[in-house]
Amino acid sequence: MIEIQNLVKEYKSKKANVLGVNNVSLTINKGEIFGIIGRSGAGKSSLLRCINLLEEPTSGHVFVDGVDLTTLKGEQLRQARLKIGMIFQHFHLIRAKTVYENIAFALKANHKSPQEIEVRVTELLDMVGLADKRDAYPAQLSGGQKQRVGIARALANDPHVLLCDEATSALDPETTQSILELLKKINRGLQLTIVLITHEMEVVKDICDRMAVMQNGIIVEEGKVYDTFSDPQHPTTQSFMKSLFQFELPERMLRKCQGTIVKIHFVAPQAEEAVITEVLRAFDVKGNILHGKIEYIHDNPLGILILELIGEGAEVQRAIEYITKRTHRVEVLHHV
Ligand SMILES: Nc1ncnc2c1ncn2[C@@H]1O[C@H](COP(=O)(O)OP(=O)(O)OP(=O)(O)O)[C@@H](O)[C@H]1O
C-alpha cells in the first residue's frame, strides 16, 4: 500500500518558484492499478517521482508498505527503492548493453551472484516474451520490445510497486494494447501495485481500477474508473471524457432533422436493457438513431446514443420523461 500525505514539491529558481505538487494526499491500495491523468504540466511526473524519491519532496510523507521513505537515508533508502520498480516513456535502456545485460545490471546493483542473475534474467525474459532477444541490442528492438525489456528490468528485484511514467505514450495503439495486457498480467500474477501516469483516457479505461485527475499540482477528482467515467464531476475530467464520447452532429444533419434530438447516456446495468425498443412501442413516436457508442470498462458497458424522436410535441415529451427515468442522463440537443 502507498500512502501519500500532504505532499508538496516546489521547484525553486531565481526567476520564480513553481509548485509541481501542491499538498496532495492519496492512498493507493495493495495490488490495484491506479491511474493518474492530467494535461501537460499538471504535476503527474513530479508526483510519481516523489513516490520513489527520485524527486525529493519539499514537504509531506510517502509511506510504502508502512515505511515513510522521506525519513530514510543512504543504504536504507537504496534498499527501499529496490522494492519500487519504474518504467519510462523513452525506456532508458543502456545502448551499449544487450537485453540480457540491461536486465542483469539491475540485479548486479543488488549484489546478486552470476548464477542467480542467469536464473532470474531467463525467468524475466520468458515472462515478458523476449527469450529470443536475449543477445540483441536496444537499437535492434521495436518500441514495444524495448518497453518489455524496461518492464523486465523494473521487475528484476521483485518490487512491490511498479511506477509507470507515460509507459505507452511513445507506442502505436496496437503495441500499447500489448504492453497494457502485459502490465495487467503482471499485476494479477504478482499482486503488484501499479501506479501509472498518462494523458490518455484510453489507457486509464483499459487497465486501471481507480484513478485520480490532476491539475495545477492538485488532485481535482479521484474514484473508481467506472464511476468517474460515468459521472465525471470536475470540468477537467469532463473535458477528458469528451475525447471518448465526443460527437458533434454535422450542421447538415441538424437542418434535415424533423424531430427532437436527444443524447442518452447509459450506464450498467441499464445499458443492457431494451429501453429504446420499449419507448417506441409504448409511445406514439418514431425514432431515428443518428449515432451510438458503447465502451466497456471492466466488462461494464457505458454508452451514448443520439436519437431523433419524431411525433406530436406532448407525446415526444412523455417519451423523453420515460427515457430519463430509465437511463442515466438525457440531454436535449435540438428541438424543432
Ligand atoms: N525540474 C524542474 N524545475 C522547475 N520546474 C519544474 C521541474 N520539473 C517540473 N517542473 C514544473 O512543475 C510543473 C509540473 O510538471 P510535471 O512535469 O510534474 O507535470 P506533468 O503533468 O508530468 O507534465 P508532462 O505530461 O508534460 O510531463 C510544471 O509547471 C513544470 O514546469
Report pLDDT digits (tens) over 64-79: 999 999 999 999 999 9
Kindly report, residue by residue over 258-279, the tens digit of the pLDDT: 889 998 988 887 666 688 889 9
Q: Which pLDDT band, with edges at 50, 70 and 90, does 15 fall under? A: confident
Q: Which three cell numbers stand for residue 296?
A: 466497456
Residue whose CA is at the smallest distance from ligand 1 atom 7: 11
The verdict on 109 and 55 lying in the same domain is yes
Residue 181: count of CB within 10 angstroms of its CB:
12
- Provide the angle, in degrees to the nearest 10, between the axes of the packed helices 275-282 and 313-326: 150
| pLDDT tens digits, 272-312 | 668 888 999 999 999 998 888 888 888 888 888 899 999 99
- Average the pLDDT over 177-200 and give the result: 95
Question: Ligand 1: which of 45, 51, 214, 218 to mutate, most ligand atoms within 8 Å of CB?
Answer: 45
Give the Cα separation of 199 and 204 in Å (integer): 9
Residues 79 and 199 occupy one common structural domain: yes
> What's the rounded mean pLDDT across residues 9-38?
95
Among 189, 219, 242, the domain-final residue is 242
pTM summary value = 0.90
- Which domain covers residue 260, as residue numbers? 251-334
Q: Do residues 35 and 113 share a domain?
A: yes
pLDDT (0 to 100) of residue 271:
65
Q: Are residues 204 and 263 in the same domain?
A: no
Nearest to 259 by CA among 165, 334, 206: 334
Q: Of all atoms in ligand 1, which is nearest to the CA of residue 55?
A: 1
Q: Is 43 in the pocket of ligand 1 (CB under 6 A)?
A: yes
Same domain, yes or no: 181 and 283: no
Query: Residue 243 pLDDT > 80, yes or no?
Result: no
Asked if residue 38 has its Cβ within 6 Å of ligand 1, the reply is yes
Of 242, 259, 278, the residue that ends a domain is: 242
Is 257 in the same domain as 210?
Answer: no
- Please state, in angstroms and as integers, the Cα–Cα distance from residue 187 to each residue in 7, 30, 180, 206, following that order: 26, 10, 10, 14
Do both 126 and 233 map to the same domain? Answer: yes
Q: Last residue of a domain, which of 222, 242, 262?
A: 242
> Do 234 and 130 belong together in one domain?
yes
Instruction: Please indicate, yes or no, whether residues 236 and 308 belong to a single structural domain of this protein.
Output: no
CATH code of 146's domain? 3.40.50.300
For 82-97, the pLDDT digits (tens) are: 999 999 999 999 999 9
pLDDT at 333: 85
Question: Where is 263: in which H helix or E strand?
Answer: strand 260-267
| The predicted structure's pLDDT at residue 203 | 94
Cell of 174: 496496437
Q: Give the number of domains in the chain.
A: 2
